[in-house]
Amino acid sequence: MDQQTQPLIQVETIPRGRALLRFVRQLAFALISIAVLVVVFGFLNPRFLSPVNWFHIAQQVAVIAILAIAQTFIIATAGIDISQGSVVALSSMICAIVIVDTHLGIVLGILLTLLLGALVGAIIGGSVVVLGVPPFIATLGMLAIALGAALLTTNGTPVFGLPESFQNIAQGTIAGFPNMGWIAIVLALISAFVLNKTRFGRYTLAIGSNPEAARRVGINVPRHLMLIYILGGVISSLAGIVYLAYTAAAQPTSGANYELYAIAAVVIGGGSLFGGVGTILGSVLGALLMTILKNGTQLAGISSYVEQVILGIVVIGAVYIDNLRRRLR
Amino acid sequence: MLTTRLMLAGLGAAALTAGAALTAPQADAATPSATVAALATPAKPAKHYHFELITKSNASPYWLAVRDGADAAAKKFGVTVNFEAPASGLDLAGQIAMVNNAVTAGTDGIILAAQNPQALLKPVKSALAHRIPVVTVDSGLSPNIADCFLATSNVGAASALAKYTAEHLMNRKGQYAIVDFNHTASTGIARPKGFMLGMKSYSAIKRMGPIQYSQNSVSKGLRIATTMLTQYPHLDVIFGANDRAALGPAEAVQRAHAKVKVVGFDADLGEIAYVKSGIIQASILQSPYDMGYYAVVAMLDKLAGKTLPKRINTPYFLLTPKNLSSAKATAAIRQYAPNYKPGS
């Protein structure tokens, strides 16, 4: 391999065994925390371990996991997307309106919604790349725009009456496992492949580590960032569709604060807000950890206030241990 | 006497003769309903029951009052009530998850204030299928599939408030505007509806602009009302559909030194201060504490094999600056703030 022309790829060419070890270490915090929580909650209420509860956990984690996957790509470029919550709201409103009010059908409803996600992503990407607005501000703006647009669609009223077949997208099952869980898993597998095994993924991490170096080796950074935000928008709107199918009601205010959970999931999973680091599996585990915490505290009869405190400690702890690990290396 | 007459405005002659401070309002049309008197006083159950109380959000004074009532009943009858709620009243998926989790946890009964009357149907059906009784409080389901629904008659109370407002605050003419807190909850839908219904009989009274939504945020309500004050210079009354939605406009009126009167729902301590200063001229006080308390009682009745009425109207009280210092007002305010002392 020619080091002169492809110095960035070289980072990835460490021996396979060490790469795996590094991968496991990166996920250690999330994995150990999940294991501890499962043991503790299983002890406090044996029903926590029952299959039906894991079925519910799979349903409850899906939307956050999907959002966390989108967030992983964006954070890997040292960006951030705080508009996800209201993009979920806008997407679910549009999807519901298309399906319920216009009778264009479920498939078209979903496609149009994903297209809307792409448009939202393109607007964010355009603001970042063309206008030079920092991602935090660009998505802060989009947070307001999407929420306002969601409220405008029906002047604030919710939309009901989604057909059963649409609700099955989330509520149905394949092989005894909830469909929304499958959606998250399939998306995670594809995304993990894209982020780790393709040029697109390596460019993403390279831009996050050092945009200047990435530019110098010939990566079209603006174009790549644009694609990342469009991808992020499409995945976020997918989360909106799944959310809609799960709740069976489109509300212009749904999804509020979900972006924060998604960011927390990425951070718990070893992602760095400074970019260049992050794995899809880690982020999904981060989302799973938060969901188990919510579910388990309720089953164990622990106050939901305590749950929020624990969640905060976990987020800070995750970053602290991550820093420690880096220093020790 | 004045107190009694004021609060009974719109309630009808039957209630008038009853003359009680906390009178159950007439039912919403077409729903047969009962009062809390329909519930038996349960004996201490043989088994130690665990109930889940799932409200719309976990930090609003209103829901905490419901929790306090449920806790008091729990203590009295030797049961445990776990309080669960999403951090935000807008996290529908969170609330659905909580009901599902409660079913998994094998709870003995679920007391629920539904964020959305339709979206919670499925999880509640699943609970009922697992033979877990469900009692809804404040915000119910549509259709009402719960074993029992305890709430204020929101349409009735809001329309009584409108009649009082028209007769005593507007002299039967003028302009009003509405700040609602949420357009998806059954309460958020019923109250503006009831208020407009009550105003309908006054042809010289006009509603200005569309209903505005404060999304349960005082600061948003403040902003909306501030705009209203400029937009409609001849506005007489702003109706805020809950505590948060009344506080924002009250704050706006105070800051602008406007002549507009605010009428609303509920009584957190902030609202009581505004009633004292006369900016809030009337407020419907519900019985959140009783809702929580009697929800537990209803649950125990159900588990003891009794048949529950599908709908129980909990009492409300019309608080005004004039009756604020009455004993009845104190009792009504204590539904929200158990330690409230008049003059404090």
Total domains present in chain B: 2
Residue A23 lies in a domain: no
For residue A299, the distance in angstroms to the closest alpha carbon of chain B comes to 5
ipTM: 0.78
Q: Which domain, by its residues, includes A141?
A: 57-328
- CB neighbours of residue B193 within 10 Å: 16
The encoded tokens of residue A238 equal: 């997918």
Nearest by Cα to B119 from B88, B98, B102, B104: B98
Please give the distance of CA B41 from its chain centroid, rounded to a whole number.
Answer: 24
CA distance A294 to A289: 9
- CB neighbours of residue B244 within 10 Å: 29
pLDDT tens for each residue of B59-112:
888 899 999 999 999 999 999 999 999 887 778 899 999 999 999 999 999 999
Q: Are residues B249 and B227 in the same domain?
A: yes
Q: Are residues B83 and B159 in the same domain?
A: no
- What pLDDT shows up at residue B80? 94
Residue A105 lies in a domain: yes
Residues B287 and B152 sit within 8 Å (Cβ to Cβ): yes
Kindly state the average pLDDT of the residues A176-187: 96
The encoded tokens of residue B58 equal: 């976990």
pLDDT tens for each residue of B239-297:
999 988 999 999 999 999 889 999 999 988 889 999 999 999 999 999 999 999 999 99
pLDDT at A329 over 70: no
DSSP assignment letter at A156: T
- Of the candidate ranges A195-199, B12-16, B56-60, B72-76, the one whose mean pLDDT is the lowest: B12-16
Q: Are residues B181 and B225 in the same domain?
A: yes
Do B82 and A301 lie within an 8 Å CB cutoff?
yes
Do A156 and B213 lie within an 8 Å CB cutoff?
yes
Confidence tier at A19 by pLDDT (50, 70, 90)? confident
pLDDT tens for each residue of B191-242:
999 999 999 999 999 999 899 988 888 889 999 999 999 999 999 999 999 9
CA distance A25 to A18: 10
CA distance B116 to B137: 13
Q: Which residues of A touch B83 (CB under 8 A)?
A: 303-304
Residue B266 lies in a domain: yes
Residue A324 lies in a domain: yes
Q: Which residues neighbour B105 within 8 Å (Cβ) at sequence distance 6 or greater?
A: A45, A47, A298, A299, A301, B52
Judged on CB neighbours under 10 Å (0-12, 13-18, 19+), B310 is: middle
Residue A282 lies in a domain: yes
Kindly state the average pLDDT of the residues B188-193: 92
Do A253 and B184 lie within an 8 Å CB cutoff?
yes
CA distance A318 to A31: 11
CA distance A48 to A43: 9
Total domains present in chain A: 1
Q: Which domain, by its residues, includes B251?
A: 154-285+320-326
For residue B214, the distance in angstroms to the closest alpha carbon of chain A comes to 11
Residue A41 lies in a domain: no
- What pLDDT shows up at residue B24? 35
- Letter string b/e over residues A214-237, b meaning 16 or more CB atoms within 10 A of that residue's CB: beeeebebeebbbbbbbbbbbbbb
* Chain B residues contacting A via beta carbons under 8 Å: 50, 52, 58, 80, 82-85, 87-88, 90-94, 96-98, 100-102, 104-106, 116, 118-119, 122, 182-184, 210, 213, 215
**What is the reported pTM?**
0.80
Residue A6 lies in a domain: no
Q: Which residues neighbour A80 within 8 Å (Cβ) at sequence distance 6 or greater?
A: A71, A74, A135, A136, A139, A263, A273
Q: Are residues B234 and B256 in the same domain?
A: yes
Do B97 and A295 lie within an 8 Å CB cutoff?
yes
The encoded tokens of residue B173 equal: 């003419």
Residue B168 lies in a domain: yes
Q: Are residues B165 and B46 in the same domain?
A: no
Judged on CB neighbours under 10 Å (0-12, 13-18, 19+), A91 is: buried
The encoded tokens of residue B211 equal: 């209903």
For residue A112, the distance in angstroms to the closest alpha carbon of chain B comes to 23
Q: Are residues B148 and B291 in the same domain?
A: yes
Percentage of chain A beyond pLDDT 90 is: 68
Q: How far is CA B230 from CA A85, B207, B252, B258, B260, in A?
A: 32, 16, 11, 10, 12
Do B119 and A299 lie within an 8 Å CB cutoff?
no
Confidence tier at B338 by pLDDT (50, 70, 90)? confident
CA distance B152 to B173: 28
Q: What angle do CA A282, A284, A287 make, to 5 degrees?
A: 110
Residues A105 and A167 sit within 8 Å (Cβ to Cβ): no
CATH number at residue A188: 1.10.3470
Residues B206 and B184 sit within 8 Å (Cβ to Cβ): no
CATH number at residue B250: 3.40.50.2300
Nearest CA in chain A to B86: A304
pLDDT at B143 over 50: yes
Percentage of chain B beyond pLDDT 90 is: 68
Confidence tier at B344 by pLDDT (50, 70, 90)? low
Residue B334 lies in a domain: no
Confidence tier at B154 by pLDDT (50, 70, 90)? very high
Do B184 and A298 lie within an 8 Å CB cutoff?
no
Q: How far is CA B171 from CA B164, B236, B241, B276, in A?
A: 10, 10, 22, 22
Do A56 and B210 lie within an 8 Å CB cutoff?
no
Q: Which residues neighbour A198 within 8 Å (Cβ) at sequence distance 6 or greater?
A: none
CA distance B155 to B168: 20
Residue B296 lies in a domain: yes
Question: Looking at the partner chain, which of A56, A158, A256 has a beta carbon nearest the beta carbon of B116?
Answer: A158
- Angle, helices A179-197 vs A164-171, to 10°: value is 60
Residue A193 lies in a domain: yes
- Letter string b/e over residues B136-161, b meaning 16 or more CB atoms within 10 A of that residue's CB: bbbbbbeeebbbbbbbbbbbbbbbbb
Q: Which residues neighbour B308 within 8 Å (Cβ) at sequence distance 6 or greater?
A: B39, B135, B147, B148, B298, B301, B302
Q: Are residues B164 and B142 in the same domain?
A: no
Nearest by Cα to B124 from B141, B106, B105: B141
CA distance A65 to A78: 19
pLDDT tens for each residue of A44-70:
999 999 999 999 999 999 999 999 999
Question: Looking at the partner chain, which of B80, B82, B101 has a beta carbon nearest the beta carbon of A56?
Answer: B101
Judged on CB neighbours under 10 Å (0-12, 13-18, 19+), A327 is: exposed
Do A257 and B88 lie within an 8 Å CB cutoff?
yes
Confidence tier at A322 by pLDDT (50, 70, 90)? confident
- Of the candidate ranges A204-208, A218-222, B32-36, the one whose mean pLDDT is the lowest: B32-36
Residue B128 lies in a domain: yes
Residue with the larger pLDDT of the pair A324 and A79: A79
- What pLDDT shows up at residue A7? 47
Place of tokens 């004050």: B229
- What pLDDT shows up at residue A171? 87
Q: Which residues of A touch B182 (CB under 8 A)?
A: 253
Q: Are residues B117 and B175 in the same domain?
A: no
Averaged pLDDT of chain A: 90
- What pLDDT shows up at residue B15? 34
